[in-house]
């Protein structure tokens, strides 16, 4: 860090550099833009950041983002099939599936994968409420959309064992996905194919 920046610039560049995907050069370019043509956008940007923090929270049902006090865009939408439930690891996976356009049901964000080595047990994930939701919603199908790595596979089987007594149809994404890979590594077409070709999870 060059000591010849005024302090407020040094502080902002340090913060920008710490954001994911921004290096020292792009942080500096951003700062120069903010000091120049972007000057008028600063209040708007600062306000949008604070608004995000204060007004976005997790949906108590599915775990995806909702605006505080507003309805969930999935759980409380009559345009989504409420009988079709897709289990994903993270909110980012919801965005990926939505971009693929392959799914019109609702989601359940686990918040991670079971991983005994990392001390991630069923009580650390949104698993108890999953069984409750499947029962209350009288789900017709639960699609387990986890990656096909070891933790993803074992989590899928754990969930299938848990849900099978409820008499629900349990499916998983088709093996169009690359072996050992998660949802973050496939393009939208592959994800679309994997969704269309989903198959029953056998014990």
Residues forming contacts to its own copies in the complex (CB under 8 A) are 2-9, 11-12, 15, 18-22, 26, 28-35, 38-39, 41-53, 55-56, 65-67, 70, 73-74, 91-92, 95, 98-99
Nearer residue to its own copies within complex by CB, 52 or 166: 52
Would you state the structure tokens that stand for residue 102, as one six-digit string?
């392959």
Residue 87's closest CA among 39, 45, 129? 129
**Cα angle for residues 138, 139, 141 (degrees, 5° grid):** 155
Report the nearest approach of its own copies to the CB of residue 187 (Å).
12
Nearer residue to its own copies within complex by CB, 69 or 165: 69
Report the nearest approach of its own copies to the CB of residue 188 (Å).
12
Nearer residue to its own copies within complex by CB, 21 or 116: 21
Nearer residue to its own copies within complex by CB, 66 or 84: 66
**Cα angle for residues 167, 105, 113 (degrees, 5° grid):** 70
Report the nearest approach of its own copies to the CB of residue 39 (Å).
7
Report the nearest approach of its own copies to the CB of residue 201 (Å).
27
Answer whether 148's CB lies under 8 Å from 179's CB.
yes
Spatial CB neighbours of 84, under 8 Å, sequence gap ≥ 6: 103, 104, 105, 106, 139, 140, 141, 143
């Amino acid at each position: 860090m060059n000591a010849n920046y005024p302090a407020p610039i040094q502080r902002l560049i340090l913060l920008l550099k710490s954001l994911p995907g921004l290096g020292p050069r792009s942080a500096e370019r951003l700062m120069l833009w903010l000091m120049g043509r972007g000057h008028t956008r600063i209040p708007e940007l600062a306000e949008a950041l604070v608004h995000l923090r204060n007004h976005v929270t997790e949906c108590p049902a599915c775990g995806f983002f909702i605006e505080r006090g507003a309805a969930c865009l999935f759980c409380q939408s009559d345009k989504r099939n409420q009988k079709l439930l897709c289990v994903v690891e993270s909110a980012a996976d919801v965005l990926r599936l939505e971009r693929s356009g392959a799914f019109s049901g609702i989601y359940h964000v686990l918040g991670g994968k079971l991983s005994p080595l990392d001390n991630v047990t069923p009580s650390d994930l949104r698993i108890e409420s999953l069984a409750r939701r499947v029962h209350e919603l009288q789900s017709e199908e639960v699609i387990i959309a986890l990656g096909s790595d070891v933790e993803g596979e074992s989590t899928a089987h754990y969930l299938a064992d848990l849900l099978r007594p409820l008499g629900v149809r349990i499916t998983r994404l088709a093996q169009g996905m690359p072996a050992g890979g998660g949802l973050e590594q496939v393009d939208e077409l592959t994800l679309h194919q994997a969704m269309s070709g989903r198959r029953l999870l056998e014990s």
